[in-house]
Structures are given as structure tokens and as C-alpha cells.
Structure 1
Amino acid sequence: MIKSIISLLLLLVSAGLSFKHGWDTLNYKKHPESLKMMNELGISEGMIPIFGVLTILIGILLLIPKTFFLGNLLNAISIVIIMALAVKAGNFKMVLMEIPFLILPLIMIWLKYPFLKNSI
């Protein structure tokens, strides 16, 4: 039961972060610091909406039991891509800041979807 509660809390945090980051990414013109960071990572302005939609899609996938694993896998892959771009740009502080966010989907995969006996 405790494992399911922890899994549920992590699911809500992860999905919430996905929706928030996706929405903020889609509204990058209102956040010049986000645009600057994306440009430093080498992400062109045309690719930014794609990342926003992908991030929101990941949040949706996390909430559906049958796509929970896929959502976490895509979340981990997107974080590794951000980390790789940060290394390429020489921004090692960003790489270190992303480590907890990389661990989150891996822990969630291990805990499985909350309150299901036969999770994927």
C-alpha cells in the first residue's frame, strides 16, 4: 500500500511537471529566458513547439495505465537528450540539475503504475 501511495505521488508530480514544462515551452515567447536557454542548447525556434507538444504528450501517457511505461521511457529519453545538449553546450550545471529528473521516471518504472496488480 505504501508503495502504491509513493508511486501515485511521484506520478502526480511527474505528470504535473510534464504539463507545466510543456505549456511553458509552448509559450516560450512570453519567457525570454527559456528561449535563450533553448538557443544555448542548440534548439532552433522551429523545434521548440515540437518539444512542448511532446512534453504534454508524455504527461498524458503517464496517466494512462497501459502507456505508463512508454511515458516514463520517453520522459527519460527526453531528459537524456537535454543533458547531452547541455554537455555539448558546456553547461554542466544544467546536466547536474537534470539528474534528479532522470532518476524520477526510472523509479516510477520500478514502482509500476499505482493501484494496479498487473502493471505493464
Structure 2
Amino acid sequence: MKIVSIVLLLVSAFLSLKHGWDAFQPPTPQQAKMMADLGITKSFVPVVGALSIAVGLLLLFPQTFFVANVLNAVIILLIMAFSLRAGNVKTALIEIPFLCLPLLLIWLKYPFKF
């Protein structure tokens, strides 16, 4: 069980850091269209990117593990809410497994705590 928890923690931290880093890169035309469809402005993207990077780093420390997972779940819920508001049910459904990841990590607890 501990190995599963470690793997999920590393995957979650990697995804958060990657998505945060990608937010500071020039968007592809597809990404720009998706953000426009969801109603996400260009000025909001770096905020979400910085928050995602912070979450990825905070996941690695036992003192901030719970808060980082809650923030991660909130970010995913926001993406789902923006998708549903825009009428894009497919994107909202795709985010469900990603919403389960921080909740599962909270349930499994921090794996490196001695």
C-alpha cells in the first residue's frame, strides 16, 4: 500500500509541476481556444500556473501534504465547473480521475512519514 501511495504522490507532484510550468509557456492554438471556450483569461493562466507549481512542491512535505491535496482538488473542481458552465461536459468528465487522485492521496496519507 505504501508503494502505491509513493507512486501516486510522485505522479501527482509531477503533473502539478508540469501543468504549472506549461502555464508559463506560449499556448498552442488548441490550448488558447480551449481557454477562451472555458472563459479563462490570459491574465488568469499564470495565477493557476503558480498555484499548480506551489501545489506540486507542497505535496512533497508532510506538513503541507493535506493542504496541497485540497488545493489540487479545488483547482480540478474549478476546471470542471468552468467546463460545465461552457457546456463542455466531455472535459468535465475527463477531469474526474484527476479529481480522485488528490482525494485518494488524502485517504492513503503521506507515505514518507516515519
Task: Flag whether TM exceeds 0.5 (same fold).
Answer: yes
Equivalent residue for 2:71? 74
Give, in angstroms, the shift of residue 31 of structure 1.
2.2
- Unmatched 5+ residue regions in structure 2? none
Give, in angstroms, the shift of residue 32 of structure 1.
2.5
The alignment yields a C-alpha RMSD, in angstroms, of: 1.0
Is 2:37 the counterpart of 1:40?
A: yes
**What is the CA–CA distance in structure 2 between the aligned matches of 1:42 and 1:30, rounded to whole Å?**
15
TM-score (norm 1): 0.91
SS of residue matched to 1:65: coil
Question: Residue 79 of structure 1 aligns to which amino acid in structure 2?
Answer: I
Give, in angstroms, the shift of residue 115 of structure 1.
2.9
SS of residue matched to 1:107: helix
**What is the CA–CA distance in structure 1 between the aligned matches of 2:32 and 2:47, rounded to whole Å?**
14
**What is the CA–CA distance in structure 1 between the aligned matches of 2:29 and 2:71, rounded to whole Å?**
26
Higher helix share: 1
Question: Residue 64 of structure 1 aligns to which amino acid in structure 2?
Answer: F
Give, in angstroms, the shift of residue 30 of structure 1.
4.3
Give, in angstroms, the shift of residue 64 of structure 1.
1.0
Give, in angstroms, the shift of residue 65 of structure 1.
1.0
Over the matched positions of the two proteins, sequence identity in percent amounts to 54
**What is the CA–CA distance in structure 1 between the aligned matches of 2:101 and 2:82, rounded to whole Å?**
20
Alignment of 1:1-120 (within 5 A): 3-27=1-25, 29-117=26-114
TM-score (norm 2): 0.95
Q: Deviations over 1:21-77 (max 9, x none)?
A: 1111111x2422222211111011111111111110110111111100000000000
Runs of 4 or more consecutive aligned structure 1 residues displaced over 6 Å after TM superposition: none
Moved more, 98-107 or 108-117: 108-117
- Unmatched 5+ residue regions in structure 1? none
